[in-house]
Structure 1
Amino acid sequence: MNEIIEILKEFEGIGTKAAKKIFFEILTNQSKKDKLIKVISEISEKFSFCERCFYYKKENYCDFCDQKKRNQNQMCVVSYLTDAQKISESNYNGLIHVLNGEINLPKNIQPENLKIAQLFDRISTDMEIILALNLTFEGEVTANYLGARLKSKCKNITRIARGIPLGGVLDYIDNDTIDDAILNRKSIKEEE
């Protein structure tokens, strides 16, 4: 039992208490156990990583690489698979590249530990690279590193806009976010 609980705790966001609850729920509920076995089997059989963009493929089809209608001259670079999933749910119509992490020197995650070499293999001078990295210290370090290395290798390098989220109330927003929102403001004419 303890070994299974330790394995469950390896999943992000699951602590000891939640792992124990999951274990006992699976142990005592045959229907949930059967569903879990089916889901894990389906993931193993139908899903894999795309060797090109490092997003996932379902039944050997990648929503980004295998969809020819996508803009082949625009590539959005993200840190994690979950970020790519969020981009796929938006109206973005270009390519994607998942780095599988961010530069983090204290944790010994160097640029060579990420999918940066594979990114450089995919880009051309005609492309716009959109850096959609997290607004964390590690995300900023990674964006700055990529920005410096990409300058001469592609047509344009951009960052996603930062600022106040939809529904955000100024009274609850920190000063850095307000500064970014003012800096990245748009003309009302641009929105029409």
Structure 2
Amino acid sequence: MSFSPLLLQLINALRCLPGVGPKSAQRMALHLLERDRDNARQLAESLLLAVEKIGECEKCRTLSETPVCEICTDVNRDNSVVCVLESPVDLLAIEQSGGFGGVYFVLKGHLSPIDGVGPEDLGIPQLLERIDQGEVKELILATNPTVEGEATAHYISAQIEREDIRITRIAHGVPVGGELEFVDGGTLAHALAGRRVIVRDKA
């Protein structure tokens, strides 16, 4: 069976989504056209509206419908503590944990010379300019624990010349509720390297 040009175009367009291969894209396209045209129309309208109306925050680079996002304009946030992340998804994960009261800077990727991704593509000059303004006291490097993420964190820390800035890296180790026998060697190595002293009660 050969598909019509418009159907092929739809299938190929759906393949831009992460984790969607040819077969998955084909199933999605056929489902939308065969059984769910109302929702397909709503999906198309919502996607078009989002593309037109959602940009990025001028201060932290996360996705935002306004020039400056709600987090950056929140007066209850500690603007002296900035958490550097690779993507808006990471920001959402930290926000859902409820344990962070600072602000963010979203790189939207990591350094990858082989892919042509350099510091300017990640907004690193903008981050350094923000630090130079003097308000930032701590920079939390929360890039992913991959080779590229570690390299990006190292690069950023090497660019900061001010000595009054505290630079920290998020801990990587054994997950809460995890058992050591099921944890991979790399994670265990990070956990051991990042061990901390237990303060004992003297009473």
Same fold (TM over 0.5): yes
Of 38-47 and 80-89, deviating more is 38-47
Q: How many Å apart are 1:173 and its aligned residue?
A: 1.1
* Contact 2:32–2:39 under 8 Å retained in 1: yes
Matches within 5 A, 1:144-163: 144-152=154-162, 154-163=164-173
Taking a change above 3 Å as real, the CA distance of residues 144 and 32 of structure 1, as seen in their structure-2 partners, is same
Aligned to 1:168: 178
CA distance in 1, matches of 2:51, 2:198: 49
Taking a change above 3 Å as real, the CA distance of residues 45 and 107 of structure 1, as seen in their structure-2 partners, is closer
SS at match of 1:89: helix
Q: How many Å apart are 1:64 and its aligned residue?
A: 1.9
SS at match of 1:117: helix
SS at match of 1:96: strand
Aligned to 2:102: 94
Taking a change above 3 Å as real, the CA distance of residues 116 and 61 of structure 1, as seen in their structure-2 partners, is closer
Aligned to 1:53: 60
CA distance in 1, matches of 2:28, 2:152: 36
Aligned length: 190
The residue type paired with residue 42 of structure 2 is K
TM-score scaled by length of structure 1: 0.88
Deviations 1:81-106, CA, capped at 9 Å, x for gaps:
21122122222111100111101122
* Contact 2:80–2:136 under 8 Å retained in 1: yes
CA distance in 2, matches of 1:105, 1:41: 32
Aligned to 1:142: 152
Q: Gaps (5+ residues) in structure 2?
A: 1-6
* Contact 1:126–1:154 under 8 Å retained in 2: no
Matches within 5 A, 1:28-107: 28=34, 29-44=36-51, 47-58=54-65, 62-90=69-97, 91-107=99-115
The residue type paired with residue 11 of structure 2 is I
Aligned to 2:194: 184
* Contact 2:58–2:68 under 8 Å retained in 1: no
SS at match of 2:61: coil
**1:14 pairs with one of 3, 20, 36:** 20
Q: How many Å apart are 1:80 and its aligned residue?
A: 1.3
CA distance in 2, matches of 1:71, 1:188: 28
The alignment-based identity, stated in percent, is: 32
Q: How many Å apart are 1:115 and its aligned residue?
A: 0.9
Pick the structure with greater CA Rg. Answer: 2
CA distance in 2, matches of 1:114, 1:47: 19
Of 144-153 and 36-45, deviating more is 36-45
Taking a change above 3 Å as real, the CA distance of residues 44 and 103 of structure 1, as seen in their structure-2 partners, is closer
TM-score scaled by length of structure 2: 0.84
Q: Gaps (5+ residues) in structure 1?
A: none
